Structure 1
Amino acid sequence: MKRRSFVKTSLMTGTAVMAAPVVNLAMVKAESAEFYELRVYTLKNSMQQKLVEDFYSKAAIPAFNRLGIRHVGVFTELKPVGQTKLFVLIPYQNLVHFNEILNQLDNDKAYQQKGAAYLTAPATEPAYERIESSMMKAFAYAPKMIVPAGRSRIFELRQYQSASEAAGKKKIEMFNDQGEIDIFKRLGFKPVFWGETVIGPLRPNLTYMVTFDNLEAKDAHWKSFIDDPQWKKISTAAGYADALLVNKITSTLLLPAVYSQV
């Protein structure tokens, strides 16, 4: 009896030792995943656009850089309908880091002084019409932002909305575990980030950003994706058809501002 008990205990201990690294790796992935704040400014006219862009180029981005955030992206629409919206992408290490940055900005005198025209704009002459903000958590298999090489390019911001949270999680699983992220990288899409929206409008959704040299390159890359044998395989696997997981896709083509760090 004692020997059987010893063997049983040894087996259980061995199993625990073997399982521990897997659990720890999963925890490391979860902890290392960045969070992304996406701000979308609705603007009435070019005066508002200049005020917001001056704020980011002269006050906000230098302040973020001083606080250790190296890559802040600012983008305008490639094909706006009326006055362009302004898109701002800010990475954080985690939500605690996000809160720390907010507190530090409140106490940053240079930021407050150089950004005063924006931060204290009067109600009669507002700096913008509205800001729509989302907070996204990076995917486990793409936990860090990838900043593209600094040359002329266009960006595509895509959002996949799902009818249920379970469907949204399944679509993220498709990116992470079924190899969809690998297809994008292999075909040269040059992704910037993938994120699950945890706070913001139109949930449940996931959002990601990819880059291209020009519109012709964009069309060629998407054709190669649709025709890719691996994509055809995973998109037709049981439970992974897009018709089951995604009920709306939006795509916005963007141009980086001259001072954008992404």
Structure 2
Amino acid sequence: MKRRDFIQASLITGTVATLIPQASVASVSKPMQPNTTFEYYELRTYIVKNGRQRKLVEDYFQQAAIPALNKIGSKSIGVFTEYLPQGFTKLIVLIPYASLTDFIEAPQKLVKDTAYLQAAAPYLNATAIEPAYERIESSLFKSFAQMPALEVPEKKPRLFELRRYESPSEITGKKKIEMFNDAGEITIFKRVGLTPVFFGEAVIGSHLPNLTYMLVFDNMEEHDQNWKKFGSDPEWKKISSMPEYSDEKILSGITRTFLVPTAFSQI
């Protein structure tokens, strides 16, 4: 190694060591599972103000976007409305991608699909006077090592819970992910009936740093019962009592949204 390169590398290493406590470095730098392939998830929130906009967005996904995205490899696309909404407020869309490259290339592929462009015309050509929606909020997530692929639940009447956990810093955000991956929280979830659809670490979006996940239940009664079971689980009590995983250190906020799938949702 040339002397100049060695000095630069030493400076970088020294700076990182100063900024990140050694205990945190050890936890953040744990080796990935060999041959783990991670998925990426785009989570879109469509803000709509009336029934016309809601129908336009729903028609767009049912008739244009879902068929076209399925064709290029994005399977199991979820489209949800709020559970017990207060008026017309939002539509939530979950789009999985097999890789980051697939996510980046998807818009280019869609505009070359003539069937998509024709079916999507009412949505794509909406004007400022009569827009298809008010705004789109979008975040991109990377799957967790202990749940690297989305799991589609059984097709039946069901209720979904979308949860976002915000952390006070990037390091504490990694610590919360470690709690799910390495400390065994995902395993406990599955054992007590908190059935996950996906877990994702936010790569791009708002409210960073955060992790977001989705759970599925038959109904609200099952939701309440299984969360109560989780809270009293001995393994969970053991993990949550560890000082390094205390909420006061690694969690700054929780946002939850209850959702129901549209008739054409693939999740």
**TM-score of the superposition, structure 1-length normalised?**
0.88
Give SS of 1:167's match: helix
1:79 Cα deviation from its structure 2 partner: 2.2
Amino acid of the structure 1 residue aligned with 2:35 = V
Alignment map for 1:224-243 (pairs within 5 Å) = 224-243=229-248
Residue equivalent to 2:192:
187
Report the Cα distance in structure 1 between the residues aligned to 2:252 and 2:221, rounded to whole angstroms.
27
The one of 29, 35, 38 aligned to 1:28: 35
The CA distance in 1 between the partners of 2:198 and 2:124, in whole Å, is: 29
Query: 2-side partners of 1:160 and 1:117: how far apart?
Result: 36
**How far, CA to CA, are the matches of 2:254 and 2:101 in structure 1?**
31
- Give the fraction of aligned pairs with identical amino acids, expressed as a percent: 55
- Residue 56 of structure 1 aligns to which amino acid in structure 2? F
1:171/1:24 Cα in 2 relative to 1: closer, same or farther (>3 Å)? closer
Aligned partner letter, 1:99: I
What does residue range 125-144 of structure 1 map to in structure 2 within 5 Å?
125-144=130-149
Q: How many residues align?
A: 238
Q: Structure 1 runs of 4+ off > 6 angstroms? A: none
Are residue 221 (structure 1) and residue 226 (structure 2) matched?
yes
SS of residue in 1 equivalent to 2:94: strand
- Which of structures 1 and 2 has the bigger CA Rg? 1
Deviations 1:228-256 (A, max 9, x none): 11000000113111221111101100000
Decide whether the 8 Å contact of 2:74 with 2:98 is kept in 1: no
Contact 2:167 2:251 in 1 (8 A): yes
Partner of 1:87 in structure 2? Answer: 92
| Structure 1: gaps of 5 or more residues | 1-22
Cα distance, 1:24 vs structure 2: 9.2
* RMSD, matched Cα: 1.3
Quick one: distance in 2 between partners of 1:71 and 1:148? Answer: 10
Q: Residue type matched to 1:148 in 2? A: P
Gaps of 5+ in 2: 1-29
Map Cα deviations across residues 123-173 of structure 1 (whole Å, 9 max, x no partner): 100000000000000011110000000011000000001111111100000
The residue number in structure 2 matching 1:17 is none
Q: 2:215 aligns with which of 196, 210, 213?
A: 210
User: Aligned pair in 2 of structure 1 residues 80, 101: CA closer, same or farther (>3 Å)?
Assistant: same
The residue aligned with 2:161 is 156
Q: Which residue of 2 aligns with 1:56?
A: 61
Shift of 1:68: 2.1
Give per-residue Cα distances to partners, 1:84-115, cap 9 Å, x unaligned. Answer: 31000000011111122221101001111100
Change (3 A) 1:108 1:153: same
Displacement of 1:180 in angstroms is 0.2
2-structure distance, mates of 1:256, 1:181: 24
